[in-house]
Structure 1
C-alpha cells in the first residue's frame, strides 16, 4: 500500500538528511572559500525538488574527514598536555613519597633516641636497686634502733609519771 498526501510528505522529510556543514564540504577550505577550482555555485539542496530525472531520489555525498595535519597538530597538543599533566601528577606523588620517607626517617631517629633514654633509665634503676640492696642491712638496723628508742621513750615517760606520783606521795607524807 503506498502512502499518499501528508503521510508521504512526512516520510519524505524523515528520509532526507540535512546538508553537510561547510567544514565537511570538500569544495570549500577552512575559511569557507572555494577550493580546488570549485565554482561559487552551491550544490543543489536535496530537499528542494529540482530537475532531477530520478523522480525525487536523493543522492548521498561522501563525508570527508578534516585534513590530517589539523588532527595531527591537535593530537600532538593533546598528548603534550597529557604528558605535562601526568608529569605533574607523578611529581606530586614522588614528593609525597619523599615526604613520607623523611617522616619515617625522623620517626625512626626519635624512636632510637627514646630507646637510648629508656636503656639509660633502666641501667640507672638497676644501679639504684643494687645500692638499695647494699644499704638494706643498715636500714634494718636503723629501724630496729628506732623501735628501741620508741620503747625507751615510753619507758622514760612511765618512769617520769611514776616519779611524779612518788614525789606527790612524799610531799603528802611530809605535810603530815
Structure 2
C-alpha cells in the first residue's frame, strides 16, 4: 500500500463518508466539519452582501429613473406651455393679418391695378397727342404752302 492509503484508516473513511453523505441537508444532530460550517457561513454572508448590493443597485436605478422621469415631465411641461404660447401668438398674428394687413395689401393691389390702367391710358393719350401734333404740323405745312403760292 502507498503512504496515502496508510494514513487513511477505515475509521477515518467512515467518518468522512458520514459527514459528506448529502450536500443538501444540514442537520444539527449530525456531526459536521467546522471549516465547512465557517465556509458556508462566509458564503451565505457574501451571497447576502451580493444580493443586498444588487437590490440596492436596483433601487438606485429606480430612484434615478424616477428623477429622470420628473425632469422629463418638467421639460415636456415647459415645451407644452411654449407650444401653447406659440400657438396663441400665431393665431393672434393670423388674426391681425386677416383684419389689418390683408385689407391694406388688397388696397395696394387695387392701387397697382389702377396705376397700370392709368399708365396704359397715359401712353394712349401720349400717342394720340403725337398723332394730333403730326397732323397739326402737316396742316400748317399745307397752309403755308398754299399761302406762298
Query: Same fold judged by TM-score > 0.5?
Result: yes
Q: Which runs of 4+ in 1 moved over 4 A?
A: 19-22, 24-27, 172-176
- Match for 1:157 among 123, 128, 139? 123
Q: How far does the alpha carbon of each residue in 1:59-82 deviate from its partner, in whole angstroms, 9 at most, with x for none?
A: x94624274322221111001110
The residue that corresponds to 2:72 in the other structure is 107
- Match for 2:19 among 65, 69, 77? 65
Deviation at 1:95, TM superposition (A): 2.3
Whole-angstrom distance in 1 between the partners of 2:60 and 2:6: 51
How many pairs were matched up?
Answer: 126
Q: 1:95 to 1:20 in 2, by over 3 A?
A: farther
The CA RMSD over aligned residues, in Å, is 3.1
Relative to the length of structure 2, the TM-score reads 0.66
Structure 2 residues not aligned, in runs of 5+: 21-31, 143-149
3-state secondary structure, aligned to 2:19: coil
Deviation at 1:153, TM superposition (A): 1.3
Q: 1:26 to 1:61 in 2, by over 3 A?
A: closer
Whole-angstrom distance in 2 between the partners of 1:77 and 1:88: 16
The residue that corresponds to 1:144 in the other structure is 110
Whole-angstrom distance in 2 between the partners of 1:96 and 1:70: 38
The residue that corresponds to 1:46 in the other structure is none
Whole-angstrom distance in 2 between the partners of 1:100 and 1:21: 62
